[in-house]
Structure 1
Amino acid sequence: MNSLVTPDTEAAVGFGPFVFYPQQRLVTRDGEPLVLGGRALDIFQVLVEHAGAYVSKQALLTRVWPDSVVEEINLRVHIAALRRAFGDGQDGCQYILNDPRQGYCLAASLAPTTDLERHNLPARLSPVIGRDKVLGRLLADVPRQRLTTVTGPGGVGKTTVVLRVAELLLEHFADGAWFVDLATLTEPHQLQAHVAQALGLAPDALIRQLQARRLLLVLDGCEHLLQACRELALRVGASAPGVTLLLSSREALNMVDECTVQLPGLARVSPLELEPQLLASPATQLLIERVGARQQGFAATDRDLVAIAQICQRLDGLPLALELAAAQVGVLGVAGVLEQLEQGLSLLSHGRRTAVARHQSLEAMLDWSFERLSAAEQRVFQRLAVFERPFTLKAAMAVISCSELGVDQLPWLLSRLASQSLVMVEACANGVRFFWLNTTRAYALEKLRRSGQWSLYHRRYLLQDAVKPLHSRPAPPRQGLEQRVGLH
């Protein structure tokens, strides 16, 4: 997950029609965001810091790729991308100069500017990795929708994504973008006052004061205040047409005009892939980046890369889980972390001490979700853990139903688990089927084992002819997990 710090204001510099916001790593042209890659932005930031002076190619390579040996062609590629984005050479404008011996120079005259009271967005201290596709979709959809909700399991990086969308759309809204963290709220009646405080408005007149505003309102972590968020969304929609809502939640609001975007884990690849494919995997990149942030000079060996790919698969590409695993590499090494993960999730039970309790670790997030389930939902959640591969509703009904959990209840209960991102859903030739994330199944298995019902439902699972080979989605490696709970 990305580290965040909240500034009071955003210092920025302007040149021509462009404005550069260093904390947001954002460049706009006439108020519209430019699409620039992370390395190009790193290079541009160095050029801004030395505006009017040449920066040698070696200095740029050292600053932008501190732990890697990179060919000069990489630098030229990103410089070319910057020049295209700035329209260098068009209408006589030239912002980036090149001298074969001296390097590159930002020749533009920079003018300081400020972006006061138009946002309260936290500034990122690390890049967003592997989210280009979903960001592209959200950047196109959010301005056209009244309400958009980004959903997904705990730890998948919903906060990071909605914040990045808000950063990139900041100039699209005349009255800015405003971020409201709901994690600390415990009661629904606190919501309106909390939102008003973030916006600097009077709680009793929040909706009236929003009527003439054109802004993006980001509500982060709505899953425990769904009804209050629905009511607020209805009131805002009815009275403040210029306000666009962007939400993050493990569960959608299920409103008629809601656009829902499901956020998956970061893409990962098989450990059998060659080194270039392993290094190109977003999950691998994040894990290496987080280890490197803690261990200066960390360089993954070939053996490390294979183990890192296995860790990324076992942890479903969940950014929070990868961050927590990275924190242990300094003590255990990459291979040691993988070995500990074979024994379950206990390695990930300690994490971010500054976060609220339920966001400090993966186990704490799953505990919080589990405790909010009804007794019947908890029983279904635990018993479904016997399924090693994707399964259908029919298979679930055959294996886990009993006198206290009739087959007529299961469709609704299973849909409830899916809506809360505890069980995942995918389309198949015969409709839909369900599957587990490795991390969530490991947690559910431990719950089932402690309940004393593992043997009963595992035996039913084996005896039923309910689970057929599902070739379109190969089961991920689970040998260590299965040995721990007695599947073999």
Structure 2
Amino acid sequence: MSDVFVFGPYCLFPQARILQRDGANVMLGSRAFDMLAAMVKRAGQVLSQRDLMEIAWPNLVVEDSNVRVQMASLRRKLGCGNDSVRYIASIAGRGYCFVAPVQCGDSAVTLPAASNTHALPPPPPPLAHALGRAEQIAQLSDALRSRRFVTVVGSGGVGKTTLALLVAHQLHEFTAATCFVDLGPVERGALVVDAVAAALGIEAEREVRLDALLAVVGERRMLVILDNCEHLIDTVADLVERLTEHAPYLSLLVTSREALRVHGESVYLLPPLGSPPHTGRLTARQAMTWPAVQLFMERAAEGGHHAPLSNEQASVVAAICRRLDGNPLMIELVASRVGRYGIQGVADLLGNQLALRWRGRRDAAPRHRTVEATLDWSCTLLRARDRRVLHRLAIFTGEFSLDAGIAVAAEDICPAEVAEAIGDLIDKSLIAVNTTDGKTKLRLLDTMRTYATMKLGTRAGAAIAPERIPAIHDV
């Protein structure tokens, strides 16, 4: 077994990177831990600032003040000066020395199990059951077992959080070792590390909080879920790179409306719920085999519509689900109004701004309470150029080619920038892509088209010249 160093009420396990006081873990940043371990191993010897910099910041050039900051934090953690206790002495002009008596042992002290170094609360239960998601649960579970870092990407409301939580509860190898972090309420990138540290129960001063975070996850086999990352994408990408570099046993599950695009990432594109194709007459029994229709009727019943689906209504409900692109959140919001408006009435109102503002559950996150709020969340993150292009693409009522999209939007934007904007909109899950027979077609969700026409038009700039519209469909 690796050596254990005992001084006062402390046990230091250098190999496991654990410091305990009276059996309880003491949280240290990774650099403070490296300096403490070096001094304890050479107790009674003086280590210069240069020595400590080479230990804590190998191959890096840093200011001498970094050593002083880490040493001050380390002394506070150890309680130096309390009740005349002294562990680390400053030697003027030379450096630092560990001056407390140290005992070195092995079997006399039992190394704590890595999985028990820090108790974690279980992840919250998903708000919805796995309707139509059995295949995705199995696929994402397999992906996490074979890869360390997976990002679930999909449009707003498609069920990324629900899927992540369902998978977290199914992966028994991470029982009691899963940390769920909802970044949706976090407004600034500077607070991302704080949110993750708080979820892990880490109490550390801001200047060493990241080091403390890396120290906690560094030697543990655990799963960290970073949920709703799209508005903090750059900061989350930086943090994930640090985590994958310093925590070899850590598994990461990220949900976002766009990929992080960093080293080691495996992207899982979450498809919408299956909806009946537009293939002619449909019976109620046939329609109810599709998960999107099942969800629609469940939510309709919860909203006061208790009649079963009839053969006459089956095609109408199937058309609603297709228009909503099988998006679970939007299906739920629309179906909740069937009790008041009826199935046909809801279908008639889908292209109206009223449908964008139908409210869902009061306990839902603000961005999920209406279709409008869901789309607002995505569109406020766009550049002005991308909003303008999105507004102009709303002229298409069905699929269109990339060339057609460029022809529509390039009136006062150069074609190369329009192509780049369309690519960004695809990456952010705002434009759907369909490739059949070697041809790629693009499409806006009906609700997005309504939203773009009604809400983005006032701030998107110049409208499409009428004389250009007839030529669009010939491109």
Q: Which amino acid aligns with 2:158?
A: V
Secondary structure of 1:280's counterpart equals: coil
Match of 2:375 in 1: 366
Quote how far apart the aligned CAs of 1:193 are: 1.5
Secondary structure of 1:320's counterpart equals: helix
Quote how far apart the aligned CAs of 1:394 are: 1.9
- Report whether the alignment pairs 1:149 with 2:147: no
Q: Which amino acid aligns with 2:435?
A: A
Match of 1:333 in 2: 342
C-alpha distance in structure 1 between counterparts of 2:360 and 2:288, whole Å: 26
The equivalences for 1:115-194 within 5 A come to 117=119, 119-124=121-126, 126-169=128-171, 171-173=172-174, 175-194=176-195
Q: Point out the structure with max Rg over C-alpha.
A: 2
Among candidates 273, 277, 297, match of residue 266 of structure 1: 273
C-alpha distance in structure 2 between counterparts of 1:150 and 1:125, whole Å: 18
The equivalences for 1:82-101 within 5 A come to none
C-alpha distance in structure 1 between counterparts of 2:436 and 2:390, whole Å: 22
Match of 1:471 in 2: none
C-alpha distance in structure 2 between counterparts of 1:120 and 1:292, whole Å: 32
Match of 2:454 in 1: 446
Match of 1:256 in 2: 263
CA distance 1:448–1:463, shift in 2 (3 Å): farther
User: Deviation digits for residues 299-340 of structure 1, max 9, x if unmatched?
Assistant: 333334333222212221111111111221222222222222
> Quick check: 1:345–1:363 contact (8 Å CA) kept in 2?
no
CA distance 1:280–1:400, shift in 2 (3 Å): same
Match of 1:323 in 2: 332
C-alpha distance in structure 2 between counterparts of 1:317 and 1:208, whole Å: 42
Q: Which amino acid aligns with 2:413?
A: L
> Quick check: 1:398–1:466 contact (8 Å CA) kept in 2?
no
Among candidates 427, 435, 457, match of residue 443 of structure 2: 435
> Quick check: 1:151–1:263 contact (8 Å CA) kept in 2?
yes
CA distance 1:230–1:453, shift in 2 (3 Å): closer
User: Deviation digits for residues 23-54 of structure 1, max 9, x if unmatched?
Assistant: xxxxxxxxxxxxxxxxxxxxxxxxxxxxxxxx
Match of 2:199 in 1: 198
Q: Which amino acid aligns with 1:442?
A: T
Quote how far apart the aligned CAs of 1:460 are: 1.5
C-alpha distance in structure 1 between counterparts of 2:389 and 2:305, whole Å: 45
> Quick check: 1:382–1:445 contact (8 Å CA) kept in 2?
yes
C-alpha distance in structure 1 between counterparts of 2:420 and 2:356, whole Å: 34
Q: Which amino acid aligns with 1:418?
A: I
Match of 1:277 in 2: 286
Quote how far apart the aligned CAs of 1:412 are: 1.2
- Report whether the alignment pairs 1:376 with 2:385: yes
Unaligned 5+ runs, structure 2: 1-117
Percentage identity across paired residues of the two chains: 35
C-alpha distance in structure 1 between counterparts of 2:286 and 2:305, whole Å: 24
C-alpha distance in structure 2 between counterparts of 1:454 and 1:310, whole Å: 33
The equivalences for 1:449-488 within 5 A come to 450=458, 456-457=464-465, 459-464=467-472, 466-467=474-475
Q: Which amino acid aligns with 1:291?
A: A
Among candidates 242, 247, 259, match of residue 240 of structure 1: 247
The equivalences for 1:212-231 within 5 A come to 212-231=219-238
C-alpha distance in structure 2 between counterparts of 1:231 and 1:237, whole Å: 10
Match of 1:391 in 2: 400
Quote how far apart the aligned CAs of 1:298 are: 4.8
C-alpha distance in structure 2 between counterparts of 1:235 and 1:266, whole Å: 35
CA distance 1:140–1:388, shift in 2 (3 Å): same
Match of 1:211 in 2: 218
In the alignment of these two chains, the number of paired residues is 350
> Quick check: 2:149–2:266 contact (8 Å CA) kept in 1?
yes
Secondary structure of 2:337's counterpart equals: helix
Unaligned 5+ runs, structure 1: 1-115, 468-488
Quote how far apart the aligned CAs of 1:182 are: 0.9
CA distance 1:460–1:447, shift in 2 (3 Å): farther
User: Deviation digits for residues 142-193 of structure 1, max 9, x if unmatched?
Assistant: 1221211111111111111111111111x12265222111111001111111
> Quick check: 1:159–1:220 contact (8 Å CA) kept in 2?
yes
Q: Which amino acid aligns with 1:187?
A: R
Q: Which amino acid aligns with 2:418?
A: L
Match of 1:417 in 2: 425
The equivalences for 1:1-12 within 5 A come to none
User: Deviation digits for residues 434-488 of structure 1, max 9, x if unmatched?
Assistant: 2222221221222465569897356423224544xxxxxxxxxxxxxxxxxxxxx
Secondary structure of 1:244's counterpart equals: strand
Secondary structure of 1:456's counterpart equals: coil
C-alpha distance in structure 2 between counterparts of 1:286 and 1:465, whole Å: 35
User: Deviation digits for residues 48-87 of structure 1, max 9, x if unmatched?
Assistant: xxxxxxxxxxxxxxxxxxxxxxxxxxxxxxxxxxxxxxxx
CA distance 1:394–1:272, shift in 2 (3 Å): same
CA distance 1:333–1:455, shift in 2 (3 Å): same
C-alpha distance in structure 1 between counterparts of 2:284 and 2:305, whole Å: 22
> Quick check: 1:178–1:218 contact (8 Å CA) kept in 2?
yes
C-alpha distance in structure 1 between counterparts of 2:312 and 2:305, whole Å: 19
C-alpha distance in structure 1 between counterparts of 2:466 and 2:221, whole Å: 56
C-alpha distance in structure 2 between counterparts of 1:378 and 1:398, whole Å: 16
User: Deviation digits for residues 242-298 of structure 1, max 9, x if unmatched?
Assistant: 111111111110113211111222111147222222010100111112223344855
> Quick check: 1:345–1:439 contact (8 Å CA) kept in 2?
no
CA distance 1:443–1:458, shift in 2 (3 Å): farther
Which stretches of structure 1, 4 residues or more, deviate above 6 A after TM superposition? 451-455
